[in-house]
Structure 1
Amino acid sequence: MTPVTSVEGRRLSLSNLDKVLYPETGFTKGEVLHYYATVADTLLAHIHDRAVSFLRYPDGPEGQLFFTKNPPPGTPTWVKTSAVPRSEDPGARQIVVSDLPTLIWAANLVVEFHVHQWTADRPAVANRLVLDLDPGPPATVVECCAAALWLRERLAADGLHAYPKTSGSKGLHLSVALRPTPSAEVSAYARRLAQEAEAELPALVVHRMAKALRPGKVFVDHSQNAAAKTTAAPYTLRARRAPTVSAPVTWDEVEACAHPDDLVFLADDIAPRLDRDGDLFAPLTDPALAAALPRTHRTGR
């Protein structure tokens, strides 16, 4: 029989709680739901006002993975949705995970949470800049950290403060809080920044996605600033063999990273980190700390 629970007055049917989703550690679906309930307040602070896309992996990361933007069949009527700009579907809507019942309902589908850099009330007007640092083997997150330290200083020179988190996969994400800026302008700035990084660090960084260019280097992916693109949310679980998390980290941790395992965080690591450090991404939710893109980049040199 499928268990039914009440979450803040919403009745939810939860299925297959004993199913092992992460074979490397034996982490079950019930533990997935417990993890999301444990970090709910912190996670919701970062996604509650953003349209989400889901990477679903109902049979674990070794089963079928499928990316979905549209509300899935059976979405409860009380789940909020928001209009999103899509040229191929002008009437498109996506789910907004705005409260705990919606979070647990979505987690029961077994998902990664991915969000745009803009909020649901201002589509295609970004209040985040993101750089996804993706290592091409044999490069690892260690090389990503070296690139991240250069990018931190370059962003600081433009008055922008970057906050790092693990991707939960192989690399790092750098996020910057912005005053609302058209996504096209943020994308152009991020592209130029990636090009500068490659020019300054040609043995370490590449700004183009072509696989032939990437072995042993860090691809600085600037494309996720496009209005249609999404990035793994802070604190989301990832579809890996172990229950890795896209976890905010300190710059001290980035500087000290000497081995790929130094920046791998599992679901059970996150609550102790929150108890010790609080939400390292909290400044990104404070509008008073948002910065403007430098005018020279917004208008072109």
Structure 2
Amino acid sequence: MKVEDRILKLTNLDKVLYPEFGFTKGEVIDYYTRIAPVLLPHLKDRPVTLKRYPNGVDGKWFFEKNAPEHRPDWVRTMRLESPGSSKGNETVNYVMVDELATLVWLANLAALELHVPQWTVGPRGGKRDPDLLVFDLDPGAPATVVECCRVAEQVRVVLDDDGVDSWAKTSGNKGMQVYAYAPAKDTSEYAKAVAQRLAKEDPKLVVATMAKAQRTGKVFIDWSQNNPAKTTVAPYSLRSRERPTVSTPITWDEVEDCQVPEDLVFTADEVLERVDSAGDLFGS
């Protein structure tokens, strides 16, 4: 198959990767091809961690940071110090997804999920300071994304008071994320302070500690996602659920109007329709 000026070999296009939905690898490739105009800008200069499902979402999966050895010579990679490396000399050869052909190649590898950090790298591999701030809102059952929306509204108020614009997206799983352009150099400490403040102000709904025992019926504001070693699912990435759901940028009106979890569940086809009608909502 010719993708722009690249030639790719695509395989097993009829293989079903989402059995409950009957969604094939060919449809995964089609989705990533069609969503590329709005997805690629959010992957640009960010080393990508892959979550691959070669036998579909019901089969075994694995994270992959190092670029596969058997890759086309035109796939750009970047060798960087491994985040969190205690020895300081461990490196990872990341895939850099800066063109459609690379995205299609990854989709053909059943890399359903794409995860990125909140920082970018320069053309020579220099690691830049974080440019994004993220609050990952994780509901503890029986809480759902509905409760996450109520917490997202609180996060937005705090950021507004600090003169920081914010926007939201679903995780494509159970929760959601609130983003902003980095307002401070130490984004992790800033996010932690916001999370702890809201947990103190609304302890019946918000928790800012990792302990799962404390999350029942509450929303955990995971501020640690701002640690340089952490990644968060990219906007417009598919997720490995029963259906081909997508981490979907949403408006603040949709956040405020959410009353049941189904209000904020979007599949690949629905996201393509949203982008056709409203464009890219991430970062706006």
The normalised TM-score by structure 2 is 0.94
2:25 is the counterpart of 1:8: no
How many residues are matched?
276
Q: What does residue 155 of structure 1 align with?
A: 159
Q: Please point out which of 67, 70, 73 is paired with 2:69.
A: 73
Percent of residue pairs identical: 52
Q: What does residue 218 of structure 1 align with?
A: 219
Q: What is the distance in 2 between the residues matched to 1:208 and 1:81?
A: 36
Q: What does residue 259 of structure 1 align with?
A: 260
Instruction: Give 1:135 deviation, angstroms.
Output: 0.4
What SS does structure 2 have at the residue aligned with 1:155?
helix
Q: What does residue 174 of structure 2 align with?
A: 170
Q: What is the distance in 2 between the residues matched to 1:234 and 1:210?
A: 27
- Greater shift in the superposed pair: 54-63 or 79-88: 79-88
2:38 is the counterpart of 1:42: yes
Check conservation: 2:145, 2:176, Cα contact below 8 A.
yes
Q: What does residue 279 of structure 1 align with?
A: 280
**Deviations along 1:16-73, whole A, 9 cap, x unmatched?**
1111111221111100000000001100011022110001111111111111111123
Instruction: Give 1:282 deviation, angstroms.
Output: 4.5
Q: What is the distance in 1 between the residues matched to 2:81 and 2:187?
A: 17
- Greater shift in the superposed pair: 59-68 or 141-150: 59-68
Q: What does residue 144 of structure 1 align with?
A: 148
**Deviations along 1:77-120, whole A, 9 cap, x unmatched?**
21111233322544322111000010100111112110111112
For residues 72 and 18 of structure 1, do their structure 2 counterparts lie closer, same or farther at Cα, with a shift above 3 Å needed?
A: same
Q: What does residue 93 of structure 1 align with?
A: 93
Instruction: Give the gaps of 5 or more residues in structure 1.
Output: 284-301
For residues 190 and 124 of structure 1, do their structure 2 counterparts lie closer, same or farther at Cα, with a shift above 3 Å needed?
A: farther
Q: What does residue 109 of structure 2 align with?
A: 109
Q: What is the distance in 1 between the residues matched to 2:137 and 2:128?
A: 23
The normalised TM-score by structure 1 is 0.89
Check conservation: 2:166, 2:283, Cα contact below 8 A.
no
Check conservation: 1:123, 1:227, Cα contact below 8 A.
no
Check conservation: 2:239, 2:247, Cα contact below 8 A.
yes
Q: What does residue 200 of structure 2 align with?
A: 199
Q: What is the distance in 2 between the residues matched to 1:282 and 1:271?
A: 18
- Greater shift in the superposed pair: 89-98 or 233-242: 89-98
Instruction: Give 1:154 deviation, angstroms.
Output: 0.5
Check conservation: 2:14, 2:26, Cα contact below 8 A.
yes
Instruction: Give 1:143 deviation, angstroms.
Output: 0.3
Instruction: Give 1:272 deviation, angstroms.
Output: 1.3
Q: What is the distance in 1 between the residues matched to 2:128 and 2:147?
A: 32
Please, what is the CA RMSD of the aligned residues?
1.3
Could you tell me which amino acid in structure 1 is paired with residue 220 of structure 2?
A: F
Instruction: Give the gaps of 5 or more residues in structure 2.
Output: none
What SS does structure 1 have at the residue aligned with 2:276?
helix
**Deviations along 1:158-207, whole A, 9 cap, x unmatched?**
1111110000000011111236x64xx11111111111110111000111
Q: What does residue 289 of structure 1 align with?
A: none
For residues 158 and 282 of structure 1, do their structure 2 counterparts lie closer, same or farther at Cα, with a shift above 3 Å needed?
A: closer
Instruction: Give 1:124 deviation, angstroms.
Output: 5.2
Q: What is the distance in 2 between the residues matched to 1:198 and 1:135?
A: 14
Q: What does residue 190 of structure 2 align with?
A: 189
